[in-house]
Amino acid sequence: MTKKEFKAESKRLLDLMVNSIYTHKEIFLRELISNSSDAIDKMYYRALTDENITFNKDDYYIKITADKENRTLTVLDTGIGMTKEELEENLGVIAQSGSFAFKKENELKDGFDIIGQFGVGFYSAFMVADSVTVVTKALGGNEGYKWESTGADGYTIESYEKEEVGTEIILKLKENTEDENYDEFLEEYRLKSIIKKYSDFIRYPIKMDITTSKLKEGSEDECEDVVEEQIVNSMIPMWRKNKSELTKEDYENFYAEKHYGFDKPLKHIHISADGAVRYNAILFIPEKMPYDFYTTEYEKGLELYSSGVLIMNKCADLVPDYFSFVKGMVDSEDLSLNISREMLQHDRQLKVIAKRMKEKIKGELQSLLKNDREKYEAFYENFGRQLKYGVYSDFGQNKETLKDLLMFYSSKEKKMTTLEEYVDRMKEDQKYIYYASGDSIEKINKMPQTELLAEEGYEILYFTDDVDEFAIRMLMNYKEKEFKSVSSGDLGIEEKDKEEEKEEENQDTKEVFAFMKESLSDKIKDVRPSKRLKNHPVCLATDGEVTMEMEKILSAMPNNQGIRAERVLEINVNHDVFNALKDAFENDKEKLKVYTNVLYNQALLIEGVAIEDPVEFTNNICKLMQ
């Protein structure tokens, strides 16, 4: 019997497999089971269409057998089998393999990746086996054949006595090495768990002989090992089931079984799409925030199946970053089983699926917001920040998708409110959506800058997350209403403007403020009479784009570029303090300098910003007390 050479590409591929340092070698079993399942599919189809073939449902199965003594692992199927020619074509020449021929037209052109595309098929057996034997008999064939190979040096084919139609793949496992344990692929529990993990939803039974310890017949304490044939996989994928057949508990069990989280799902989304790209998906929004969610450790992604076979644990391309909290799986029969990570990114079907799911998730969140406010608020409490990051990142390209999902605390409602609700409640003459930034609701409540707006009955949104102001800047406006910080120079409230202008026109006042500005020199841009203060004597406002809150956040960043807000010191001219300032201006300019320094530092303290020279500040206060 002569040994035949593999064709060049196959040989290269085999080399890669034999010497593979791939960490998930266990996937060879997934590949072999998947091939078996395909072969049974073909048989099934033939039996359906050819009345000369009688085949019972029970005749379709896959069986996995481990033989520890001989170090062999066998995958048997009752599929369609292979003729001698098919053996040659399919296992000898990779270029003839089914999926290769299918892929050829559409994918070979642009940068094609052989190991990613085809490497993980049948040849993956060589990651764990020194030699592979394929015994097969084709439907309608008279004889069986045996194909054998020890790797890249070639293969042999000879006639072989085989009764049943189907295929058996026998792997002679490699000897253990220092780094690799191949014995594990002979252990029942290990094999069972690999099958459960990757092939649970194969629609034919995957059988194994399982040894269990049982009480000996007639004995009360003596046990014996009994070998029983068991079906290891559950066979029916939950996602293929009809939604109406499934209960909330089913989804919760699925969530737990899949280890999506230790909590319960807040909401599940079950999609069965039958359009241009067919897929089923079960997605979850977790009830609790994963402990590492807002860290770099957290890895987003969904499980990706191709026709019931798991091909990737965390396919990141399926969910956008702003929905990274979504857990779950997608199964599509339109995806190639052997698609690589690199190829997936460019896969058109996958892109279509990702886009549809993104829309679906958004829609579900919107309907949750509308119909189950409490749940939505619970969701938002955990993941709202991620949505806001989403508005801000990627140069705001997702802001339209996300803006209606945003919520902020409202000064008026004393609870979370959406931008739409805010705009609907706006006063007739109100130009802006007002917001105040601070560490907490309590702190913002006390901000002097909110006094006027609050008194005039304007609603203020509270920004308590670092990202809020940045996200809103990216959004720019909502329903054509611009956002305005309560600390910004011009609040756009007209009557008040006029009233205060009178004071500004007053020559004396102008001189006092000019002197104060001079004494603070480059610390501030201006000193002005305040339009927004009611009871407080002083506060800081800002001109320009950067607010004090943004300055604080930016300066805490590692690549801090020293960006500063344009500070404006605002004085309440209706406050007694203002009289003291005027008095000092006329009688004691040195005293006015001390007053100015104290007021400026007070304004900084109110903002929660560290004062520049605490010693000078306290000395100044002492001076005033003496």
Residue closer to ligand ADP by CB (options 302, 309) is 309
Residue closer to ligand ADP by CB (options 167, 398) is 167
Are 515 and 589 within 8 A, CB to CB? yes
Q: Is 46 strand, coil or helix?
A: helix
Shortest reach from residue 141's CB to ligand ADP, in Å: 12
Residue closer to ligand ADP by CB (options 80, 554) is 80
Q: Which residue is nearest to ligand ADP (CB)?
A: 121
Residue closer to ligand ADP by CB (options 39, 238) is 39
| Binding residues for ligand ADP (CB under 6 A) | 35-36, 39, 77, 79-82, 90-91, 97-99, 121-123, 167, 338
Shortest reach from residue 25's CB to ligand ADP, in Å: 16
Shortest reach from residue 53's CB to ligand ADP, in Å: 16
**Strand-pair category, 62-67 with 206-215:** parallel
Shortest reach from residue 31's CB to ligand ADP, in Å: 6
Residue 433 CB contacts under 8 Å (≥ 6 apart), including other chains: 419, 422, 423, 426, 461, 477, 478, 481, 482, 483, 484
Residue 154's CB is within 10 A of a number of other CB atoms, namely 16
Residue closer to ligand ADP by CB (options 75, 191) is 75
Shortest reach from residue 81's CB to ligand ADP, in Å: 6
42 vs 65: CA distance, rounded Å: 23
Shortest reach from residue 189's CB to ligand ADP, in Å: 25
Shortest reach from residue 82's CB to ligand ADP, in Å: 5
63 vs 74: CA distance, rounded Å: 8
Cβ burial of 499 (10 Å; 0-12, 13-18, 19+) is exposed
Residue closer to ligand ADP by CB (options 77, 549) is 77
Residue closer to ligand ADP by CB (options 80, 132) is 80
Shortest reach from residue 302's CB to ligand ADP, in Å: 23
Residue closer to ligand ADP by CB (options 123, 204) is 123
Give 334's DSSP letter. Answer: T
Residue closer to ligand ADP by CB (options 35, 542) is 35
184 vs 604: CA distance, rounded Å: 66
What are the tokens at 296?
Answer: 């770099």
Give 360's DSSP letter. Answer: H
Alpha helix (H) residue ranges in 136-242? 188-199
Burial state string for 610-623 with b = 16 or more CB within 10 A and e = fewer than 16: ebeeeeebeebeee
Shortest reach from residue 173's CB to ligand ADP, in Å: 19
Shortest reach from residue 110's CB to ligand ADP, in Å: 20
What are the tokens at 167?
Answer: 């295929």
Residue 518's CB is within 10 A of a number of other CB atoms, namely 11
Cβ burial of 586 (10 Å; 0-12, 13-18, 19+) is exposed
Residue closer to ligand ADP by CB (options 15, 183) is 15
Cα–Cα separations (whole angstroms), residue 256 to 195, 284, 315, 530 = 18, 11, 19, 58
108 vs 92: CA distance, rounded Å: 20
9 vs 95: CA distance, rounded Å: 8
